[in-house]
Amino acid sequence: MRSVNPLAHRVPRQPDDSRLTGADRVLAVLRSLGDYPRGVGLEELARDVGVPKSSLHRALAALRRAGFAEHDERGSYRLGLELVRIAFAYYEQLDRRQVIEPVLEALAVRFGETAHYAELDGAEVVYLAKMTPPGRGAQMTSIVGGRNSAHCTALGKALLAYDLVDENAVAAYVDGHGPLARRTDHTRCTAKDLAMDLAFVRARGYALDDEENEKGINCIAYPLFLDRRSHATGAVSISALVHRMGIVQIQEAAAEMRTLIEVALGAVTR
């Protein structure tokens, strides 16, 4: 993934790194610089990459000319801002659906229910992808590009939990966006109830919708941390007809769902 991933590991260096030449040497130096956000001295970098200092100087000079490496007043080297700019520009152009849709398909096939991916926009979630297994998934009103209230959907609560981190923040949200719409008899519309639900998300790592948005349909959703660990960039969910997969059954399958998501995306849930 493009984000920091605690399950990711560095590709092992070849045992013969001392024979690296040309572009391979430059790339090895670039990779090594990524391990030193505060900078690294020439001696340590030479040992890390396993090349002579003369060769290292040439590789660093090439990287500095491209703006991919910088040399500070302390004599340390670090990744250059031009590389950061290119990486972020590339990231911004990626379509997240290309990353998410295989996960939705895996969830839909495994559980035979509809899977969604959504992102938060103010007090609403915006559905950006949806996968329904043929002849099986629940028929719901959600459509790609459509919106729904965040407070009564599992997707919305999975995302709000990391924006509204205490009762004061929840109260301010309800004051600003209320009165919260009551979609069903189960919809929780008060700041107190919403704060309890969001605390549940942070404690368990997933959100539940117990017929709060649509009568007869419940849902479980997981926040995804595709950019950084402190901010949920989106969420994926499984929605099911109550008579086919009740809220208790959904919670019993929660660990398996989480594992499926993490295997497909890397450890980007909580």
Span 194-212, pLDDT tens digits: 999 999 999 999 999 999 9
Same domain, yes or no, for 68 and 194? no
pLDDT tens by residue, 118-151: 999 889 999 988 888 876 645 666 788 889 999 9
Contact 219, 208 (CB under 8 A): yes
Residues 135 and 229 occupy one common structural domain? yes
Q: Which of 47, 62, 92 corresponds to the end of one domain?
A: 92
C-beta neighbour count of 155 within 10 angstroms: 31
In a domain, 104, yes or no: yes
In a domain, 246, yes or no: yes
CATH code of the domain covering residue 72: 1.10.10.10
User: Are residues 61 and 136 part of one domain?
Assistant: no
pLDDT of residue 226: 75
Q: Kindly report, residue by residue over 91-122, the tens digit of the pLDDT.
A: 665 667 777 888 999 999 899 899 999 999 88
Domain residues for the domain of 44 are 17-92
Sequence-ordered strand ranges (E) for 132-253: 147-149, 207-214, 217-224, 234-241
DSSP annotation of 228 reads B
> Is residue 40 helix, strand or coil?
strand
Q: Pick from 64, 92, 120: which residue ends a domain?
A: 92
pLDDT value at residue 212: 93
* Residue 83 and residue 212 in one domain: no
Q: Domain with 139 in it: what CATH number?
A: 3.30.450.40
87 and 100, same domain (yes or no): no
Number of domains in the chain: 2
Q: Please give the helix or strand (H or E) that residue 129 lies within, else none.
A: strand 124-131
Determine, yes or no, domain membership for 174.
yes
Length in residues, the chain: 270
Q: DSSP 3-state assignment of 199?
A: helix
For residues 64 and 101, membership in a common domain is answered with no
Whole-angstrom Cα distance, residue 236 to residue 169?
A: 24
In this structure, the answer to whether residues 235 and 199 fall within a common structural domain is: yes
Separation in Å, CA 8 to CA 2, 5, 36, 132, 267: 11, 5, 17, 30, 9
How far apart, in whole angstroms, are the C-alpha atoms of residue 54 and residue 263?
42
Residue where a domain terminates, one of 92, 116, 151: 92
Are 96 and 81 contacting, i.e. CB atoms less than 8 angstroms apart? Answer: no
